[in-house]
Structure 1
């Protein structure tokens, strides 16, 4: 009887999870090209208003890197109707929170308010798009902010420039070769007219998606959106034609030095396909297999059993044009970086030549299911997913359908993808060393 009750509970739980995963939404376009997505959830009196722009670190001219990240800061300066420095104060005083972030491919702004302040959130985002003040004073102020951020997060942080060092060696032509935050000399050299031109090109309604999610009334929300965003003029169509990279056909060996570390690190990197491709999803599973948790293959082998590494991690850095698959290790004691790289290659070779066990494969499927459910567990998370799926993947329905991509992955797919992308002849091997080693 107890086993029957447990089985009944499992079926009931699975039904609840399946129900929780379904996200209903509606979408449409304004006349100016702004795509709008609405998600109604009246379970709590909160609402998220968000705008994602299809502009990121890669959208720049040579000698003018870091512009999108710079605008992430600059567009909080103020507008014609929001006084300088008052943006965060207005949000906080009305019970809300807000933030923004920039990747190589997009920039995302959002506010979370009590639902009775929905109109305030829409007005503020329309102000950001239509009436920002882009003046020399604001540019100079944010230039110092960005410089301090770079010093804190990159230049003065242990292993802070590791990713940039990999980008330097993995890309030759594509803008992914440069850091998302940019180079300070580029921002220093940019003129006010260049900043204004950058805004006019990229921060236009037809290069953005607006998502409103939470405790809303659909018809009232549509009217407010039309009132606030409808008058904004459509921008010129944006075309992107970034140079293509030649395949890596033999191992690239590189070194970089960091004044903030005493223990070296090794990073192995492979160039991989766009995050829109099924193979990118397979690489996410391979990352879980290799380094997610204490029972993962690399952690158990290098950290737990052989006591050769302090830390190990495999990451699929997904991007719109090319991905980067990175394996990072810090040695323990006298273990050499070469030894770590050899042991890692042994595990990668197994993936290329053998299929993983059914038991390990089922664990990966379970992790994918859990991750999918968790990504849609909050209104703010749903808003982010809806915006990203539409703007970058071209398929808003992924918010409900993405799990089917993972469910369709097979053990054969894992073997095939490892064999296609994770070859020694297609990798960059970076020795990331203490600066003291440079003088030796």
Structure 2
């Protein structure tokens, strides 16, 4: 009887899980090319207005890096109808919050308001697109802001330059070899005309996706979108033709130094396909197996049992054109960096040569089910996912179906993909070391 009750309860949970995860949305294009995605959820009086611009650090000129991140700041300066410095005041005085983020492939702006201020959010984003004021005062102001951010988050942050050093070794041709924040001397050398040209090229309706999610009246919101965004002129089509990387056929070793650390770190990094490739999904599952929590293989072995490391991690840094699969370790005491590499390699070889256990495989599946639930648990998360799936994958409905891809992955596939990508002759080894007066 207890077994029957348990089985019935499990069936009910699965049914509730399936129904709860279905995210309904509507999408369409304006005549100027702006893609619009609407998601109505009237359970709470909150709305998010967001715009995803398909421009990131990879779109910059080699001698003008940092532009995309710079614009993340610059486009809060003001517009023809918003006085300089008043953007945040307008948002907070109406009960809202806002922010923006930039990475290698995109820039994302958003506001979260009480739902009765949805029109304000739409007006703000239309102003950013139609009437930005890009002048020398704003450029000079944000130049200092970005420099301070770089000092705080990169230059003076322990291990703050580690990823940048890995990217430089892993990519030789593709602009992923650079950093999102860019080089400050490039920003200093840039002219006002160059900033205005960057805005004219990338901040156009046909390079953007507007998402409105939350407590909305869709017919009313559609009219607002047409009124505010419809008149904005279409921009020129953007052509991208990034160079292809040559395969890595023998191990590349490098060293980098950081004055902010006292304990070294070591990284093994492998260049892998971009996020839309099925193998990238498989590699994410391998990462979860290796370092997804304190009961994971690497943590339990190297940190807990052998006490050779303070931290270990396996990460699939999934980007649009390529990805980076990264194994990272910080040694404990006088343990050699190569010892950590050897121990991590041992676990990779096990995956390549034998199937992981059914128990471990089910644990990974459970982790991805939980991640799927969490990603769709708020209107902010839903809005970001809708824009991401449309722009990178060309399939907005992946917000409902992507979990099926993970469910379809097998232990045999994990073994096959590990054999294909995670080999010593296909990687970069970076020793990240404390800097002293001699370096």
For 1:311, the equivalent position in structure 2 comes to 311
Query: Any idea what the Cα deviations from partners look like across 1:295-348, whole Å, max 9, x if unmatched?
Result: 101001100000000001111000000100111100001100011111111111
Query: Any idea what the Cα deviations from partners look like across 1:367-423, whole Å, max 9, x if unmatched?
Result: 111111110001111000001100111110100010111011011110111111110
Deviation at 1:8, TM superposition (A): 2.3
Hey, what's the Cα distance between the residues in 2 that align with 1:301 and 1:2?
37
Hey, what's the Cα distance between the residues in 1 that align with 2:210 and 2:159?
36
Q: Note if 1:207 corresponds to 2:210.
A: no
Give the TM-score, by structure 1 length: 0.99
Q: Note if 1:71 corresponds to 2:42.
A: no
Deviation at 1:5, TM superposition (A): 2.9
Q: Which moved more, 1:47-56 or 1:4-13?
A: 4-13
Q: Note if 1:144 corresponds to 2:121.
A: no
For 2:355, the equivalent position in structure 1 comes to 355
Q: Note if 1:412 corresponds to 2:412.
A: yes
Deviation at 1:179, TM superposition (A): 0.5
For 2:438, the equivalent position in structure 1 comes to 439
Deviation at 1:85, TM superposition (A): 0.9
For 1:14, the equivalent position in structure 2 comes to 14
Deviation at 1:2, TM superposition (A): 3.8
Describe the SS at the equivalent of 1:254.
strand
Hey, what's the Cα distance between the residues in 2 that align with 1:74 and 1:277?
34
Unmatched 5+ stretches in structure 1? none
Query: Any idea what the Cα deviations from partners look like across 1:279-301, whole Å, max 9, x if unmatched?
Result: 11111111110011111010011
Hey, what's the Cα distance between the residues in 2 that align with 1:2 and 1:276?
44
Deviation at 1:62, TM superposition (A): 1.5
For 1:266, the equivalent position in structure 2 comes to 266
Deviation at 1:141, TM superposition (A): 0.5
Deviation at 1:276, TM superposition (A): 0.4
Deviation at 1:6, TM superposition (A): 3.0
Alignment of 1:375-390 (within 5 A): 375-390=375-390
Describe the SS at the equivalent of 1:62.
coil
Hey, what's the Cα distance between the residues in 2 that align with 1:116 and 1:164?
43
Hey, what's the Cα distance between the residues in 2 that align with 1:194 and 1:353?
53
For 1:428, the equivalent position in structure 2 comes to 428
Describe the SS at the equivalent of 1:58.
helix
Query: Any idea what the Cα deviations from partners look like across 1:145-170, whole Å, max 9, x if unmatched?
Result: 10001110110010000000001100
For 1:341, the equivalent position in structure 2 comes to 341
For 1:171, the equivalent position in structure 2 comes to 171
Hey, what's the Cα distance between the residues in 2 that align with 1:143 and 1:329?
35
Describe the SS at the equivalent of 2:55.
coil
Deviation at 1:12, TM superposition (A): 1.7
For 2:86, the equivalent position in structure 1 comes to 86
Query: Any idea what the Cα deviations from partners look like across 1:88-138, whole Å, max 9, x if unmatched?
Result: 111111011111100100000001111100000000000001101000000
Unmatched 5+ stretches in structure 2? none
Alignment of 1:3-402 (within 5 A): 3-402=3-402
Deviation at 1:10, TM superposition (A): 2.0
Deviation at 1:173, TM superposition (A): 0.7
Hey, what's the Cα distance between the residues in 2 that align with 1:25 and 1:3?
39
Q: CA RMSD in A?
A: 0.9
Hey, what's the Cα distance between the residues in 1 that align with 2:145 and 2:283?
36
